[in-house]
Amino acid sequence: MGNGEQRGKVALVTGASRGIGRAVAIQLARDGAKVICVSRSEASATPTAEAIRADGGESDPFAVDVSRAEAVQAACRDILEKHGRVDILVNCAGINRDNMCLLMTDDEWNAVLATDLSSCFHWTKHLCRSMVRNRWGRVINISSVIGLVGNGGQANYAAAKAGVIAFTKSIARELASRNITANAIAPGFIDTDMTAPLPEAIREKVLEQIPLRKFGRPEDVASAVSFLASDRSSYITGHVLNVDGGMVMA
């Protein structure tokens, strides 16, 4: 349940069609924000926007391939023209293309880096000007515990997610004087389309490494985003918040 504390704010959530991004978009709308739901196609983004409207919230779908720099730049221009501002940016769109490093193709490497890391740079670069102007903003980047500890078969994904953390800390330093915070969330194993293909034996092995003995739900990540997007977190920046049932403890 939301408390309306984001009323008057505009949020943009990438990867909003499914899984974690969908739960984040719905939560921020319950918190009172108008939410722009970004995913690859109009057809995939629209159901989340419709669910928000059915729940009494405000939302627009927006289709753009976040891995394409020029497309993101053009999207930011259109969005700022239509909505005037974006106060909360949640970079959640992501893919994995797993393979052992020695077998990994350039396409597998480049697709993950472009979608999971470079997209954060492009959205931040083109949307933060409006936050700077308003002297308030929140950037929340979805990383992963894999970006903290690495994983065999996921060198591309781990590098991208570690990059997201370093990127977040750097922009946190750059934007702090303008009252903009930037934080990363490192989810552990969350039940979504991304983790669904994993074989049962691997799921059981992962479960053994989670002290809370359960997989996370997209809503677990959404409530962390809701906090980091709010004024309740105004003295927190450059932080990495693990949402992982205790899987990785520093």
Which residue, chain included where needed, has tokens 């319950």?
Answer: 30
Would you give the binding string for ligand NAP spanning residues 127-156, x where CB under 6 A is met?
Answer: ---------------x-x------------
Q: Looking at 27, 44, 118, 154, which residue binds ligand NAP (CB under 6 A)?
A: 44
| Least distance to ligand NAP, CB of residue 70, Å | 13
- Contact criterion met (CB below 8 Å) for 39 and 16: yes
**Contacting range for ligand NAP; rule: CB under 6 A; set: 4-12, 17-25, 201-209, 234-242:** 17-25
Detail the DSSP E strand segments found in 43-194. 58-63, 88-91, 137-142, 180-187
Which is nearer to ligand NAP, 16 or 86 (by Cβ)? 16
Q: Which residues contact 77 (CB under 8 A, 6 or more apart)?
A: 126
Q: Tell whether residue 18 is a contact of ligand NAP (CB under 6 A).
A: yes
The answer to whether residue 235 is catalytic is no
Q: Tell whether residue 93 is a contact of ligand NAP (CB under 6 A).
A: yes
Q: Tell whether residue 61 is a contact of ligand NAP (CB under 6 A).
A: no
The total number of residues written for the chain in this structure: 250
Q: Which residues contact 152 (CB under 8 A, 6 or more apart)?
A: 100
Which residue, chain included where needed, has tokens 């980091």?
Answer: 228
| Least distance to ligand NAP, CB of residue 146, Å | 7
232-239: Cβ within 8 A, 24+ apart? 232/5, 233/181, 233/183, 234/181, 236/181, 236/183, 237/172, 237/176, 237/181, 237/182, 237/183, 238/168, 238/169, 238/172, 238/173, 238/182, 238/183, 239/183, 239/184
Q: Alpha-carbon distance 115 to 153, whole Å? A: 18
Q: Looking at 10, 13, 17, 108, which residue binds ligand NAP (CB under 6 A)?
A: 17
**What are the strands of the beta sheet with 58-63, ordered from one edge?**
58-63, 34-39, 10-14, 88-91, 137-142, 180-187, 240-243
Which is nearer to ligand NAP, 71 or 104 (by Cβ)? 71
**Contacting range for ligand NAP; rule: CB under 6 A; set: 18-26, 97-105, 131-139, 176-184:** 18-26
Q: Looking at 69, 80, 95, 104, which residue binds ligand NAP (CB under 6 A)?
A: 95
> Active-site residue among 62, 109, 123, 157?
157
**Contacting range for ligand NAP; rule: CB under 6 A; set: 5-13, 90-98, 125-133, 199-207:** 90-98
- The set of catalytic residues is 157
Q: What residue ranges bind ligand NAP (CB under 6 A)?
A: 14-21, 39-41, 44, 65-67, 92-95, 115-116, 142, 144, 187, 189-190, 192-195
